[in-house]
């Protein structure tokens, strides 16, 4: 009797940056349309009140070396925020990759999870690519995209999450920052890596809702805001 050796598996690298670019460049009429379309659609799906507001803000920041860069914030209100539990990959796998309705935090952090009782892919999962696409950090050594996202929920829970997408992998902050620690980082700076901190210097959310923060926002988005192209798609 011949005993087969135990199988050995290796990690499969995924060019995450290429995936992001292919998704967003696949939008009809270009990436700016994606930046204008995805946030209102996500807010509509998560609406709590009849009137939902989406606010775009382009903000100048000075880095430690004196370099000037911009961050873009996209904030919704009148929504339920990124509600639901913070699930691990094991939790999601144990449920067959299906999320319950209202698991919006996990849907946003994931990619295309199916919502229970819904035939289409879960909301918010794909939309984060519209934000990641426009983050182009110039001070880091490898091609990567970064977004931060904070949410205030009905029960006053406050969360701050982050995703860093790289050429061959991507990472999410796990677990997120909560409560006073999250608010303090929002008011000061987010620690990235190798002593690099990004100066957020924002006010914590005061209304239930969600804010996505795009640091190192690129010139394409800056010009679209200044010329009114973004407003046209809105």
**Which tokens in the block code for residue 69?**
């860069």
Regions of the chain with pLDDT less than 50: 119-124
Residue 227 lies in a domain: yes
| Cβ pair 182, 150 in contact under 8 A | yes
pLDDT given at position 216:
94
* Structure-derived torsion over alpha carbons of residues 129, 133, 137, 140, reported in degrees to the nearest 10: 70
pLDDT given at position 207:
95
Residue 3 lies in a domain: no
Residue 102 lies in a domain: yes
Question: 0.85 exceeded by the pTM?
Answer: yes
What is each CA distance from 64 to 87, 134, 176, in whole angstroms? 35, 22, 25
Domain span at 216:
16-233
Residue 226 lies in a domain: yes
Alpha helices in 162-218 (DSSP H): 179-187
Q: What angle do CA 63, 169, 131 make, to 5 degrees?
A: 55
pLDDT given at position 74:
96
Residue 7 lies in a domain: no
pLDDT given at position 123:
46
> How many domains would you assign to the chain?
1
CATH number at residue 34: 3.30.565
Nearest Cα neighbor of 135 from 106, 163, 176 is 163
Residue 134 lies in a domain: yes
pLDDT given at position 51:
85
């Amino acid at each position: 009797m011949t005993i087969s050796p135990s199988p050995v598996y290796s990690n499969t690298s995924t060019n995450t940056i290429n995936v992001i670019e292919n998704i967003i460049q696949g939008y009809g009429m270009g990436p700016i349309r994606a930046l204008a379309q995805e946030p209102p659609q996500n807010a509509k799906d998560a609406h709590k009140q009849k009137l939902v507001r989406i606010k775009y803000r382009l903000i100048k920041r000075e880095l430690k070396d004196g370099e000037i860069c911009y961050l873009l914030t996209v904030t919704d209100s009148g929504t339920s925020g990124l509600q639901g539990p913070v699930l691990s990959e094991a939790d999601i796998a144990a449920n067959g990759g299906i999320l319950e309705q209202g698991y919006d935090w996990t849907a946003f952090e994931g990619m295309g999870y199916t919502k229970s009782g819904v035939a289409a892919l879960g909301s918010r999962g794909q939309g984060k690519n519209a934000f990641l696409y426009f983050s182009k950090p110039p001070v880091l050594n490898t091609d990567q995209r970064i977004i931060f996202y904070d949410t205030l929920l009905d029960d006053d829970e406050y969360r701050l999450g982050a995703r860093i997408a790289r050429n061959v992998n991507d990472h999410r902050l796990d677990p997120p920052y909560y409560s006073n620690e999250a608010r303090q980082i929002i008011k000061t700076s987010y620690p990235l890596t190798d002593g690099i901190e990004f100066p957020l210097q924002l006010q914590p959310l005061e209304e239930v809702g969600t804010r996505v923060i795009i640091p190192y926002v690129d010139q394409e988005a800056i010009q679209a805001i200044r010329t009114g192209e973004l407003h046209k798609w809105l």
